[in-house]
Structure 1
Amino acid sequence: MKLQYAITLNEPRSVDAVAQQMSGSSRTAFTRTDVLTALGVLQGQERAGLALIYAKYTKDKGETRRAVEACAKVAVQLAGKLPVKERGKTQVIIAQGLARLAVAEFSRTADTPGAKCRCGGRGTVADEERLVELIVLASKPVDAPTKPCSRCRGTGLKPVPASRVYRAVAALAPALSERTFYRQWQGLYDQLLAWCYTQEDRAERGYSRLTREAA
């Protein structure tokens, strides 16, 4: 069972998806107890990554708060190494604000209000040029081929512009100029977002390892 489904075992709305994932006669099928045990072990090994995954797929407020706290701790540590003039309380406020924004961006999915790309969240669009070529070659109707959406680059989500991140941070630290943000703070935001994806990957690999060992 995929980790994103495993974390929804206790959610009634996910019964069908979970049942489908747990069904089958393969030797790698797990019981509910197996999955919950693996999640318990994973929680101790990859706490931040698991919290981020809960925040993304279940929108759990408690897990989202834990994910933000973990990301903020990293943000404050990294901010302390930046050659910026903002120090003390202002530096911490900016770093924590960036952490919240990074977790919020990471946690977006196609069902997040306003996040879906114009491709409908699929991440792909019809490849009209290729379709014409296929019709000419086949001389008969063919299935429309697709290609990655150029707007979202296959994610299915609208990109978050840096200007929106700046405005959100500037609301917390009004003295922060736009130029200073782009020159000295945007890089930290990118690092925090990358950290979120790294933690997610670590949690997924840890879960795969645990479930392989239980097989």
Structure 2
Amino acid sequence: MKSEYLLKAFSPSSVSLSHDIKSTSPDKHTGMDTAAMLAMAGDDVQFGLHAFLAKHNVSKADKIKTIEALTQYALKTAPVLVVKAAGNKLAPCMMILAKMAFEDYARSAGSTGECTECQGKGMVYCCKPVVKHPGIINRAGEVVIGADIREEMVGKACRTCKGKGKIAHRCACKGRGKIPDIKQTELQGVPVFRNCPRCSGRGYKRMPSSVAYTAIKHLVPELTQPSWSRNWKGYYELLISKMYAEEKYIDINLKEI
């Protein structure tokens, strides 16, 4: 069986009001088959199972369990230099790395994230002079009542997300991962495409490692950029690879069921 059947079970189709006869083939996958598949899955695939379901936003509980499992894995396999640098802040540091690794793993061309410019509010506030009363001037040009101008917080739509509060992770190639190769197209006379240099053919933007470094920096102020690049960044990439490895492992096990 394929892991895609799990998504069909958690996202059932709507009720059909037509008189069409449903498929009665014995090879048709049913909900009971999915339930049996979940029951037969061993404990060794629970990590990958929760990660796969959390990646497709099936439930928040799966996301929490995935981050907890990845945090425990990070605490057990953390390099010596990372443990030494983190000190007594090792547990919160590993939790931050686990959260960042999951966010990078769960990204796709169709996913969205909170706008960092407005923190998801869709509005940006700044202090500006606001005219409460324009004042009164008589015919002779004399000021009877002066203008009432006060400094207040004024909100305006965020330019980054255009007031939506969320930004798409989709690359400038519109999630295709391919862009036209103009030179080769002119030489060969047929449309030729190449991998997008911005996303390396993925179709979406990855989570920058600098975001994880900034978060760790608040807990470990003495952590420098060279130390992060030399000791921490490689381990952060390893945690991301662990997520993909667990997803691949569950695919292999479910196909054997």
TM-score normalized by structure 2? 0.66
1:9 alignment partner in structure 2: 9
Query: Contact conserved, 2:179 with 2:193, CA < 8 A, in 1?
Result: yes
2:45 alignment partner in structure 1: 46
Indicate which of 108, 131, 137 corresponds to 2:185. Answer: 131
Identity %: 27
Report whether the alignment pairs 1:197 with 2:196.
no
For the pair shown, which has the larger CA radius of gyration, 1 or 2? 2
Give the secondary-structure state (helix, strand or coil) at the position aligned to 2:228. Answer: helix
Q: CA deviation at 1:87?
A: 4.7
Flag the structure with higher helix content. Answer: 1
Q: CA deviation at 1:88?
A: 4.1
Distance 1:28 1:87, change over 3 A: same
Amino acid at match of 1:48: F
CA deviation profile, 1:171-214 (whole Å, cap 9, x unmatched): 3433433232222211210111111111010011111221xxxx
Flag the structure with higher strand content. Answer: 2
Q: Mind listing any 5+ residue stretches in structure 2 that lack a counterpart?
A: 15-21, 113-167
Give the secondary-structure state (helix, strand or coil) at the position aligned to 1:62. Answer: helix
Distance 1:116 1:159, change over 3 A: same
Indicate which of 100, 115, 135 corresponds to 2:169. Answer: 115
2:36 alignment partner in structure 1: 37
Give the secondary-structure state (helix, strand or coil) at the position aligned to 1:169. Answer: helix
Indicate which of 193, 196, 200 corresponds to 1:149. Answer: 196
Query: Contact conserved, 1:82 with 1:184, CA < 8 A, in 2?
Result: no
Q: CA deviation at 1:78?
A: 1.6
TM-score normalized by structure 1? 0.78
Structure 2 CA distance for aligned equivalents of residues 43 and 64 of structure 1: 19
Give the secondary-structure state (helix, strand or coil) at the position aligned to 1:125. Answer: strand
Distance 1:45 1:162, change over 3 A: closer
Distance 1:24 1:189, change over 3 A: farther
Amino acid at match of 2:10: N
Structure 2 CA distance for aligned equivalents of residues 42 and 7 of structure 1: 16
1:89 alignment partner in structure 2: 88
1:69 alignment partner in structure 2: 68
Distance 1:45 1:95, change over 3 A: closer
Distance 1:88 1:191, change over 3 A: same
